[in-house]
Amino acid sequence: MTGFTLHKLHRSLGAEVRGLDLAQPLDPTTRDALIEAWLEHMVLLFRGQELSPETQRRFCENFGPLGERSRKADDRPEGAGVEHEMLVTNVRRDGVPIGSLPDGEMYFHHDKCYVPVPDWGTMLYAMVVTDTGGHTLFANMCEALETLPDDLRSTIDGRRVLHMYKYHPTERVELEDDIGRHDHCWQPAVVTHPRSGRRALYINELMTALIDGYSEEESCGIRDALMAHVRSANVIYEHKWKKGDLVMWDNWCTMHARTDFPPEQTRMLRRYTIRGQALTA
Ligand SMILES: [Fe+2]
């Protein structure tokens, strides 16, 4: 008995989990069943949750040690979250955002693909949501790979790609900038998921700067063709947030994006991540 039921959110990925109060401790059987469901569906949604930072952190720790923040604590504004916690919000104090990633649209990306040990999962809990916009799109990168036309697949097969982090939500990376100023890492273009063994396309539009063996311009063209394929392959679930939603996603086999939202509306979510491991082809 696991005490929950699963309800698919999209034909390709995502499932809503009903019947669990995440503020309560999980028994090992339920936890193992959730991990199995997560590996299968890649994105899990739990509606109507009431979570403090402590209970959210404790739920996250069921799946492994917490991931580290990129931005050092001393560099964060007051209230932006302590230790492993991140506030994703456009709330400002004296004109300065109190959290991270405050405004508008964000292009597709994998969290932490630009470090040698990318986080496995991200958990986002909705505290204040907008009336319109601010949705999160999730793409199934296993199915995106499986449906890739042969000619496009052969351009990236066996290659490595350079991922680089830039803060601005829609700004693509520019290599003429000093690369040393940004976190960056070479990763396989196609990764094997360490838990499920499934292969996934590991290229995204926000952070992938270069494909090994191609010029910056050629890399950009291949990346755009790959993203066009993902958008046309019916592998994207669009999540419209409600207050009390907790969504957990797998960063090794999905990428995600955020739609624009009215700047005058408040949006506030609390994020923890689950530490991962180095990825191989
Ligand atoms: Fe993200």
**Ligand 1 centroid vs 169 CA: distance in angstroms?**
9
Q: Which residues, in sequence order, are CB contacts of 140 under 8 Å at separation 6+? A: 12, 13, 42, 235, 236, 237, 253, 254
pLDDT computed for residue 182 by the predictor: 85
**Ligand 1 centroid vs 165 CA: distance in angstroms?**
11
Q: Which residues, in sequence order, are CB contacts of 124 under 8 Å at separation 6+? A: 88, 136, 246, 247, 248, 269, 270, 271
pLDDT computed for residue 69 by the predictor: 79
- The one-character DSSP state at 69 is P
**Ligand 1 centroid vs 124 CA: distance in angstroms?**
10
**Ligand 1 centroid vs 19 CA: distance in angstroms?**
27
User: Alpha helices of 42-183 — where are they, by DSSP H?
Assistant: 53-60, 141-146, 150-156
pLDDT in tens, 137-174: 999 999 999 999 999 999 999 999 999 987 676 776 66
| Amino acid type, 193 | H
pLDDT computed for residue 141 by the predictor: 98
**Ligand 1 centroid vs 77 CA: distance in angstroms?**
19
Mean pLDDT for the chain overall: 93
pLDDT computed for residue 79 by the predictor: 52
**Ligand 1 centroid vs 198 CA: distance in angstroms?**
22
- Phi and psi angles of residue 74, each rounded to the nearest 5 degrees, phi first: -65, -25
pLDDT computed for residue 127 by the predictor: 98
**Ligand 1 centroid vs 111 CA: distance in angstroms?**
5
Order across the sheet with 15-18: list the strands: 5-8, 15-18, 43-46, 246-250, 121-128, 268-274, 86-89
Pairing mode, strands 43-46 and 5-8 = unpaired
Say whether domain 5-103+119-127+241-251+263-274 belongs to CATH 3.60.130.10. Answer: yes
Q: What is the CA radius of gyration of the chain?
A: 18
- Phi and psi angles of residue 150, each rounded to the nearest 5 degrees, phi first: -55, -40
**Ligand 1 centroid vs 82 CA: distance in angstroms?**
18
Mean pLDDT of 24-37: 97
**Ligand 1 centroid vs 29 CA: distance in angstroms?**
30
pLDDT in tens, 251-279: 999 999 999 999 999 999 999 999 999 99
Beta bridge partner(s), residue 164: 184
**Ligand 1 centroid vs 1 CA: distance in angstroms?**
34
pTM of the model: 0.94
**Ligand 1 centroid vs 30 CA: distance in angstroms?**
27
**Ligand 1 centroid vs 114 CA: distance in angstroms?**
12
The proportion of the chain whose per-residue pLDDT surpasses 90, expressed as a percent, equals 82
Other Cβ atoms closer than 10 A to 95: 5
Q: If we measure between CA atoms, which residue out of 1, 6, 46 comes closest to residue 27?
A: 1
pLDDT in tens, 32-86: 999 999 999 999 999 999 999 999 999 999 999 999 877 665 565 555 556 789 9
pLDDT computed for residue 44 by the predictor: 98
**Ligand 1 centroid vs 252 CA: distance in angstroms?**
12
Q: Would you say residue 201 has pLDDT above 70? A: yes
Q: Would you say residue 95 has pLDDT above 60? A: yes
Q: Would you say residue 103 has pLDDT above 70? A: yes
Q: Would you say residue 136 has pLDDT above 70? A: yes
pLDDT computed for residue 82 by the predictor: 64
Q: Would you say residue 122 has pLDDT above 80? A: yes
Q: If we measure between CA atoms, which residue out of 59, 240, 29, 263 comes closest to residue 135?
A: 240
